[in-house]
């Protein structure tokens, strides 16, 4: 049913704990019948993960509206490991980055003048994110207050999040409020939702 996704990103789990938590979430969704242990690479684009879980017989329990009998959702991909996650379509940088110390926002993509990231502005964030991906630690100095702030504490614009665990629901009808609330409670961390198209 198309090449769009709804994503939940865990913003707080550590890279070390992400695998165990992912396995626990899969066990729960399998037990609920939302997904199966069978995997497929069809109709999903969650690189670098190339397969996702095939929906289970109880997949409708997870969605807000299951009234379209012809709708059968695609796989659910589980992305384990520190990474940046982007929503939208083909977005690669955050629109803005706001310093949690002084509250000053740095504009990365200067809409509507430009639809591309200002490389000079974005480069320190890319470097900090790359260091965090590799080691679990990465910082960017704020150009306004000069504080050295961990990349995970910067507030990025919508559709750009850092996390060590994410779930991509490919081609699913919108997930229900109830399912998402239980999903978040079971993660036990702050989360962010994204959606996008391949
Ligand atoms: Zn600052």
CA of 106 to the centre of ligand 1 (A): 9
User: What's residue 2's pLDDT?
Assistant: 60
Nearby residues for ligand 1 (ion, Cβ within 5 Å) = 99, 101-102, 142, 144-145
Indicate the pLDDT class of residue 70, thresholds 50, 70 and 90.
Answer: confident
User: What's residue 1's pLDDT?
Assistant: 47
CA of 82 to the centre of ligand 1 (A): 24
- Helix then strand then coil, % of the chain, to nearest 5: 25, 35, 40
CA of 188 to the centre of ligand 1 (A): 29
Region(s) of the chain under CATH 3.30.310: 4-87+160-197
Task: Give the pLDDT confidence of 95-152 residue by residue, as tens digits.
Answer: 999 999 999 999 999 888 888 899 999 999 999 999 999 999 999 999 999 999 999 9
CA quadruple 58, 13, 81, 60: dihedral, nearest 10? 10
Task: Give the pLDDT confidence of 107-123 residue by residue, as tens digits.
Answer: 999 888 888 899 999 99
DSSP H stretches of helix in the chain: 18-31, 119-135, 177-187
User: What's residue 90's pLDDT?
Assistant: 67
CA of 135 to the centre of ligand 1 (A): 23
CA of 112 to the centre of ligand 1 (A): 25
Q: So what's the architecture of 4-87+160-197 in CATH?
A: 2-Layer Sandwich (3.30)
Are 127 and 115 in contact, with CB atoms under 8 Å apart? no
Whole-angstrom Cα distance, residue 5 to residue 77? 10
CA of 139 to the centre of ligand 1 (A): 12
């Amino acid at each position: 049913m198309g090449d769009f996704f709804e994503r939940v990103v865990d913003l707080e789990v550590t890279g070390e704990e992400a695998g165990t938590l992912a396995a626990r979430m899969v066990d729960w969704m399998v037990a609920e019948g939302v997904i199966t242990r069978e995997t497929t690479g069809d109709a999903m684009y969650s690189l670098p993960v190339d397969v996702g879980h095939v929906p289970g017989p109880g997949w409708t329990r997870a969605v807000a509206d299951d009234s379209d009998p012809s709708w059968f959702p695609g796989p659910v991909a589980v992305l384990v490991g520190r990474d940046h996650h982007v929503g939208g379509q083909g977005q690669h940088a955050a629109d803005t980055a706001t310093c949690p110390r002084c509250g000053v926002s740095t504009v990365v993509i200067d809409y509507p003048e430009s639809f591309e990231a200002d490389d000079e502005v974005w480069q320190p964030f890319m470097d900090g994110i790359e260091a965090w991906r590799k080691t679990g630690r990465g910082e960017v100095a704020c150009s306004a207050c000069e504080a050295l702030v961990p990349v995970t504490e910067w507030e990025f614009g919508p559709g750009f999040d850092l996390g060590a665990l994410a779930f991509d629901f490919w081609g699913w009808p919108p997930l229900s409020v109830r399912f998402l609330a239980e999903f978040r409670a079971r993660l036990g961390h702050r989360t962010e939702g994204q959606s996008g198209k391949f």
